[in-house]
């Protein structure tokens, strides 16, 4: 009865929001991407590789979750090459990252179905998963309910539950309690995440702290090009300092451009690589740069390869992590504006780079606290403190080296979540006779 009521509400919501999404589909390409698959309609050739063998369904919402789970997916396929992997994402950008970075590990790459009962039933019937592995914090009632009723074990990896989400789930405990109790294993990032999961209904013996998968990221390198060649392509000399500002959002680019212009007076050779989080904002950021009075080029502009400019607008997908390797200092966006929550602070830390970020952190707060405790990261509150911090780091070689070593130390000392999580997944597979 409860799920029928939820299904009615979801259908009404879809009808009410349909005009909004129709407008978005006409104006923004990302809303047109993967529509048939979001309704559980898949081309035969896309699912052809799933015909022989047990199907394991991995789901990651966006880029951060996708990158976090790829090392686990790689280990899973190394240990169980006979298993067929369906990998679903919600966003087009995450879909492209999965397709680009690990295409050989994925037998079928799809978009996640809408959480409408008839859509989910159709998708499950077509995919026939024997195990469902979901990354971090997604709770889709119909997906969980239908998979559980069909006897498909559900494993949450890199599990995290914010205080805000916990409060919301707790208030609706009559509905979410049965969902959380359906989870076969909850692999939590921290003890606090585990405690919240248990209070929400996960059986205590099924909740375990495995750590954060993001600490186990492999060190990305530019494909088929060395660092020196990359610098030449970007028009950056080896001795020139570089700020890489990654995963930025609206409201941050203006601030970063202003801070960069002020820093240029102090450090004339300074360069900025500016990487907006969402591809649909590339043109918008380009417009900001045109009015800024500083020279710039887009990364994909083949006519300007090697040309020297003050700013490089990174308008590619999947290249940011590698470009952190040429940074002098990194700024990680989504953290100076509210309602985003920040992004992965470890991507520059893995290259022993000082990490700077804003004060608006949610899922990445624990990561920031670790960096700050070791001395590898600095939290700033506004443009003025950002300018002051960047100026200090750029002008002090010793400070920069100490911060870089400390940032890398945080990564090294917290590795191991992938192996622990894999052990838990295999435990579930044995329980359900999937090994």
Could you write out the DSSP letters of every residue in 31-52?
Answer: GTTTHHHHTT---HHHHGGGSS
Furthest C-alpha separation in the chain? 67
For the chain, what's the residue count? 435
Query: What amino acid positions are annotated as catalytic residues?
Result: 65
Angle at 198 between CA 192 and CA 204, to 5 degrees: 110
CB 358 within 8 A of CB 381: yes
Residue 266, helix vs strand vs coil: helix
Distance CA 360, CA 331 (A): 13
Residues 401-434 as b or e (16 or more Cβ within 10 Å = b): eebbebbbbbbeebeebbeebbebbeebbeeeeb
Q: Which two tokens stand for residue 92?
A: 């087009």
Read off the DSSP letter of residue 114: P
Residues 247/333, Cβ–Cβ less than 8 Å: yes
Per-position b or e across 206-244, b if 16+ CB within 10 A of its CB: bbbbbbbbbbbbeebebeeeeeeebbebbbbeeebbbbb
Q: What are phi and psi of 137, to 5 degrees?
A: -140, 15
């Amino acid at each position: 009865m409860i799920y029928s009521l939820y299904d009615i509400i979801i259908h009404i919501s879809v009808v009410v929001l349909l005009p909004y999404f129709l407008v978005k589909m006409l104006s923004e390409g990302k809303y047109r991407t993967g529509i048939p698959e979001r309704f559980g309609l898949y081309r035969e050739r896309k699912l052809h590789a799933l015909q022989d063998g047990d199907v394991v369904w991995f789901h990651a919402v966006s880029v951060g979750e996708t990158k976090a789970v790829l090392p686990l997916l790689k280990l899973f396929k190394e240990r169980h090459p006979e298993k067929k992997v369906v990998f679903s994402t919600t966003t087009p950008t995450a879909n492209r990252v999965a397709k680009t970075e690990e295409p050989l590990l994925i037998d079928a790459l799809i978009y996640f179905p809408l959480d409408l009962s008839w859509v989910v039933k159709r998708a499950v019937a077509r995919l026939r998963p024997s195990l469902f592995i979901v990354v971090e914090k997604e709770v889709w009632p119909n997906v969980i309910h239908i998979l559980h009723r069909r006897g498909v074990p559900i494993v949450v990896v890199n599990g995290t539950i914010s205080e805000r989400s916990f409060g919301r789930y707790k208030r609706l405990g009559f509905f979410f309690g049965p969902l959380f109790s359906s989870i076969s294993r909850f692999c939590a990032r921290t003890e606090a995440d585990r405690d919240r999961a248990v209070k929400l209904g996960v059986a205590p013996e099924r909740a375990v702290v495995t750590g954060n998968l993001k600490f186990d990221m492999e060190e990305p390198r530019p494909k088929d090009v060395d660092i020196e060649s990359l610098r030449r392509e970007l028009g950056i000399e080896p001795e020139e300092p570089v700020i890489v500002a990654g995963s930025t959002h609206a409201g941050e680019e203006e601030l970063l451009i202003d801070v960069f212009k002020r820093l240029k007076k102090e450090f004339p050779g300074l360069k900025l690589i500016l990487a907006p989080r969402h591809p649909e904002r590339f043109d918008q950021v380009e417009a900001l740069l045109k009015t800024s009075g500083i020279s710039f080029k887009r990364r994909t502009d083949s006519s300007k390869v090697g040309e020297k400019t003050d700013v490089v607008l990174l308008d590619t997908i999947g290249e940011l992590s590698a470009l952190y390797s040429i940074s002098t200092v990194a700024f990680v966006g989504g953290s100076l504006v509210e309602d985003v929550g920040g992004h992965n602070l470890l991507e520059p830390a893995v290259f022993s780079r000082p990490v700077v970020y804003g004060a608006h952190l949610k899922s990445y707060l624990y990561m920031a606290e670790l960096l700050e405790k070791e001395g590898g990261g600095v939290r700033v509150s506004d443009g003025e403190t950002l300018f002051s911090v960047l100026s200090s780091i750029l002008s002090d070689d010793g400070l920069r080296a100490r911060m870089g070593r400390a940032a890398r130390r945080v990564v090294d000392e917290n590795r191991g979540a992938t192996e622990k999580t894999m052990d838990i997944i295999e435990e579930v597979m044995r329980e359900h006779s999937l090994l």
